């Protein structure tokens, strides 16, 4: 069965809208498009489909309210604009949704809310309780208080995390582009829109390495990163143009609109879902080709013998990324040893750990049970 034919059966959907969708080029809110979006989401909700909206636009709306043509570079100024713009943005959403008899709830998240497993579970419980009340959550990053070190950074990534938290059936990212092209359509007139993607390749990332508009925080590259995680988690994701008439209804009607990223069939376990969606990476372990094969193809734990290098400073029990020597992330997991300890045992056999460290609590640097691997 075509993956698009399954969308009609989706009962829980996350829809992400970017700044370029909600505003004109001058930063003013595009009220006509905003109203159309709300009408479509309200209609989905009337069909007993649970709807979660991840909305950008607070900083851009705040900047426009203050008469600014560009987003300032300093964090305190951005946070001030977020405080100004978030209230105005939510007020407009409340007004539009109320016209269709819908109640909304504002949820502002930071990376810290998702990095700790207990807080991640609390966020999950809160969002599920809101959905049970037949209320539509409107989610944004809490830009007013977040600092650079713990920023999620963009709402493409945030929408992926939210989709994982609520175990969504579908993630729709609405943007100012028709979907993913095989090359930049602004440069190459022969560029073709890709209807389906089964794997995010390095070539796609290179082609997509561009920024969004003046008031936006991301571009196609952030969407591909989001798609990579969604596909691994078993959640289909669609990128489509918000300017298309009835875009959400048409996606649910299985119309070939935008680009659909086809997920893997298996669903993640809850703990590995947190590793993939919620946890913040505190460092990186570089592994050789043998360790890569053992992790990806043979389902093994990460041993010290396959480690080539360590980046960052982290303690035992923290989440680290696992990368190949050329920088491709292949896994993420909870480490049994600190960065300094791993530097001492890198390349050594498990039997040598006690000699190098004076004691050995674990044979594995990261146990398979605490490891999420990108297949």
Q: Which residues of 116-139 are buried (b: 16+ CB within 10 A; e: fewer)?
A: ebeebeebbeebeebbeeebbbbb
Q: What is the dihedral of CA 177, 180, 181, 184, to 10 degrees?
A: 60
Residue 238, CB half-sphere, CA atoms under 13 Å: how many? 28
Q: Is 175 annotated as a binding residue?
A: yes
Q: Is 78 annotated as a binding residue?
A: no
**DSSP codes of every residue in 243-276:** TSTTHHHHHHTT---SEEEPPPSSPPPHHHHIII
Spell out the residues 6+ positions from residue 254 whose beta carbon is closer than 8 angstroms to its own.
Answer: 2, 4, 5, 7, 8
**Region for 4 from its dihedrals, namely left if φ exceeds 0, alpha if ψ lies in -120 to 50, beta otherwise:** alpha
C-alpha distances (whole Å) from 291 to each of 46, 100, 139, 320, 349 are: 50, 55, 39, 16, 13
Q: Is 143 annotated as a binding residue?
A: yes
244 contacts 174 by C-beta, under 8 angstroms = no
The kind and range of the H/E element at 296 are: helix 289-296
| CA gap 78, 315 in Å, rounded | 32
Question: Cα 80 to the chain's mean position, in Å?
Answer: 25
Q: Is 219 annotated as a binding residue?
A: yes
Q: Is 218 annotated as a binding residue?
A: yes
Q: Which of 157, 152, 166, 78 has its CA nearest to residue 111?
A: 152
Q: Is 155 annotated as a binding residue?
A: yes
Scanning the structure block, which residue is given the tokens 């069909």?
Answer: 47
Binding-site residue numbers for substrate are: 56, 143, 155
Binding-site residue numbers for ATP are: 16, 175-176, 217-223
Binding-site residue numbers are: 16, 56, 143, 155, 175-176, 217-223
């Amino acid at each position: 069965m075509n993956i698009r034919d399954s969308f009609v059966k989706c009962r829980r959907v996350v829809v992400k809208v970017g700044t370029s969708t909600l505003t004109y080029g001058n930063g003013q809110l595009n009220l006509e498009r905003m109203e159309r979006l709300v009408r479509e989401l309200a209609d989905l909700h009337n069909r007993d489909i649970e709807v979660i909206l991840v909305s950008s636009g607070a900083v851009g709306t705040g900047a426009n309210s203050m008469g600014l043509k560009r987003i300032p570079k300093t964090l305190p100024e951005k946070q001030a604009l977020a405080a100004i713009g978030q209230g105005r943005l939510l007020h407009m959403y409340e007004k539009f949704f109320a016209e269709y008899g819908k109640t909304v709830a504002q949820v502002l998240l930071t990376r810290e809310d998702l990095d700790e497993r207990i807080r991640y579970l609390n966020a999950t419980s809160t969002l599920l309780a809101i959905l049970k009340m037949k209320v539509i959550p409107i989610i944004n990053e809490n830009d007013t208080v977040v600092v650079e070190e713990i920023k999620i950074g963009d709402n493409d990534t945030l929408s992926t995390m939210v989709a994982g938290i609520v175990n969504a059936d579908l993630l729709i990212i609405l943007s100012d582009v028709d979907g993913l092209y095989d090359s930049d359509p602004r440069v190459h007139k022969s560029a073709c829109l890709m209807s389906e993607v089964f794997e995010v390749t390095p070539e796609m990332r290179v082609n997509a390495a561009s920024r969004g508009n003046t008031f936006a925080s991301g571009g196609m590259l952030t969407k591909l990163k989001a798609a990579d995680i969604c596909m691994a988690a078993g959640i289909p994701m669609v990128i489509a143009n918000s300017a298309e008439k009835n875009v959400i209804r048409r996606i649910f009607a299985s119309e070939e609109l935008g680009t659909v990223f086809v997920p893997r069939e298996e669903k993640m376990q809850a703990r590995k879902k947190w590793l993939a969606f919620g946890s913040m990476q505190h460092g990186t372990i570089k592994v050789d080709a043998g360790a890569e094969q053992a992790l990806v193809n043979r389902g093994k734990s990460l041993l010290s013998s396959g480690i080539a290098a360590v980046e960052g400073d982290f303690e035992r029990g923290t989440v680290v990324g696992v990368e190949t020597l050329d920088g491709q992330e292949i896994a993420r997991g909870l480490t049994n040893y600190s960065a300094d300890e791993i530097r001492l045992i890198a390349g050594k056999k498990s039997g040598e750990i006690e000699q190098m460290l004076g004691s050995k609590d674990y044979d594995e640097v990261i146990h398979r049970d605490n490891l999420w691997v990108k297949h």
